[in-house]
Amino acid sequence: QCNLTGLWQNDLGSKMRVFEVDSEGNFSGEYHTSVSSATKPIQPSPLVGSQHLDKDGKCTFGFTVNWKKFSDSTAVFVGQCFTDDKGDEVLKTSWLLREKVDTLPSDWKATR
């Protein structure tokens, strides 16, 4: 079974720490992105999420990161856990980032 608890790092150097996954699959943690277009210095940001606790170990999960410490944006990630040929757990994710915009006509450019 995939264990999300612990420290993870992606190809760009961003780091995620999951504190603990409870018996229902809920978890919290901290995300420290290495990439940002914000003008303020990057800081670790809180995350909350949920994981399917499937017996086959190929668990899907999702989490939200609130960048409130340095930005007006929020990101959501969805993914799945795999085991590679070496036996290491690998997370594959997709994400959406929503930035705050000031007007309804600007909505088109608010989500990446």
Which tokens in the block code for residue 50?
């949920």
Please identify every stretch of the chain with a pLDDT value under 50, giving residue numbers as ranges. none
- Is beta strand 89-98 parallel, antiparallel or unpaired with respect to 74-83? antiparallel
Residue 22 has a pLDDT of 95
pLDDT of residue 39: 78
Question: What is the distance between the alpha carbons of residues 43 and 64, in angstroms, rounded to a whole number?
Answer: 16
* pLDDT tens, position by position, 71-88: 889 999 999 999 899 988
In this predicted structure, what is the pLDDT of residue 101? 93
pLDDT of residue 56: 80
Domains of the chain are 6-103 (2.40.128.30)
